Amino acid sequence: MKASLIERNSANPILQTTDVKPSAEGLKVIGVFNPGACLFNDEIILLARVAEACQQESGWVKIPIIKLDDGHPRLEILTWQENGRHKIDKSDPRKYLIDGKMYLTSVSHLRLVRSKDGVHFTVDPEPFISPVTSAEIYGIEDVRITRINDSYYLTYTAVSGEGHGVVLASSKDFTTIERHGMIFPPQNKDVCLFPEKIQNKYIALHRPLGDTFGKPSIWYAESPDLLHWGNHSCLMRPGDNEWEQEKIGAGPQPIKTPDGWLLLYHGCGHNSIYSLFLCLLDLNDPRKILKRGNFPILTPEDKWETNGFFPNVVFSNGWVLIPDGTVKIYYGAADNSICLAEATLDNLLKHIG
C-alpha cells in the first residue's frame, strides 16, 4: 500500500472505550468501533457500535442479554459458575458456548458521536438506538447510513438466538427515529443502500450466510419501496488471494463518480485478518463489475489494529466524501476502537485502474 494512496490520521485511534460512558450499571464498554458515517448540516455524524460486557467475578461467567417484559426491553445478566456442572467453551472472546448453546459475550447498541473537523468527536451520553425487539435481544451492530432525498436510512444488523438479520430505520434530524422493521431475515448482514434509485428501483447490497457450498459473498437486490426486496443475485465472491479468501462483505453506501459506483468492501483472509478493498460498479446496472482492486487499500499494521479485542482487523461501514474531494474512511480497529484514514477520490479511483 503506497503512502500516497491513503493516509492514517496521526490522532488515531480517534475514539476509544475510555471515551464512552456505559449505558447501564454493571456493564463496561469493551469496544467502540465499526461506525456508520455521514455529513449532516455542518457536522460529521458517526453512529458507533458500542459493545458492553459484564463486570466479571472470579469463578463466574456473566453474559448480558436483553429481555422483553410485555414488549418492554430490560437488561438481564445471565450467570454460570465456571468450574461447576456447566460445560463452558471460552475459546472465542466474542462468543461463549455454554452447555451447547451460543451466547455473545457482549451486547451492542448504537451511540451518536459528532464532530466539526472529522477528527475530534463528542460522544452522546445515552444510546441512540438500543435493542427493543425479540430480533435484537443479543444486540444491534454495524450500521450503514445512506441519505436518500431528505432522509437518512440506517441499515443495521440485529442479533438474536435466530441469528443475524438486517433492520431498516430512518431519521431526518438524528433526534427522532422511525423503525421500519426487518428487511433481510437471518442469516444476513452487511447491507448497504445506494443513495438514489437506479432504473426506478432502490438497490441494496447484502451478505447472506454462506454454507458448505459457497463462501459468504456480496449479493445484489432490488426494491420498489425499500421494504420488499427481490431479484437477488450474487454480485461478487471472495477472491483467490490471501486477503479475502474466506469471506467478503459490503461496506458503506457506494459513492457515485463519473466512472461508476465506487464500493468499499471488507475481506477476511488467512488467519482471519480483515482488510479493505475497492471495486467499481456500472452506473446504470450495478450488477456489472467494471473494475476490482487486486490489492487491499488498508490492512492491519498499527498496534491498535493488530492488537485488541479481536486482533488484526480493519473494518469499515462508514465513509464521507468532503466537497474538496477528500474521502474520510472511518474504520473499526481490532473490534476495539475507531480510526480514521483519508484519501482523495481521484487516488482511490486510480488504485483500481
| The pLDDT value given to residue 2 | 43
DSSP line for 168-180 = EEEESSSSS-EEE
Alpha-carbon distances of 88 from 83, 94, 103, 162, 342, rounded to whole Å: 9, 14, 11, 21, 43
pTM, rounded to two decimals? 0.95
pLDDT > 70 in the chain, percent: 98
- Is it the case that residue 353 has pLDDT exceeding 70? no
| The pLDDT value given to residue 1 | 40
For 206, the enclosing helix (H) or strand (E) is strand 202-208
Q: Residue 3 — very low, low, confident or very high, per pLDDT cuts 50/70/90? A: very low
Domains and CATH numbers, the chain: 10-351 (2.115.10.20)
238-295 tens-digit pLDDT: 998 999 999 999 999 999 999 999 999 999 999 999 999 999 999 999 999 999 998 9
Alpha-carbon distances of 7 from 37, 149, 238, 342, rounded to whole Å: 18, 31, 26, 5
pLDDT > 90 in the chain, percent: 87
Sort strands 60-69 and 43-54 into parallel, antiparallel or unpaired: unpaired
Please give the average per-residue pLDDT across 35-57, as a whole number.
95
Higher pLDDT, 83 or 220: 220
Sign of CA dihedral 215, 220, 224, 225: positive
The rounded distance, in Å, linking the Cα atoms of 256 and 301 is: 29
101-143 tens-digit pLDDT: 988 999 999 999 999 999 999 999 999 999 999 999 999 999 9
| The pLDDT value given to residue 212 | 67
| The pLDDT value given to residue 117 | 97
Helix, strand or coil, per DSSP, at residue 229: coil
Cell numbers 437518512 correspond to 152
Q: Give 272-284 as a 3 state SS string.
A: HCEEEEEEEECCC
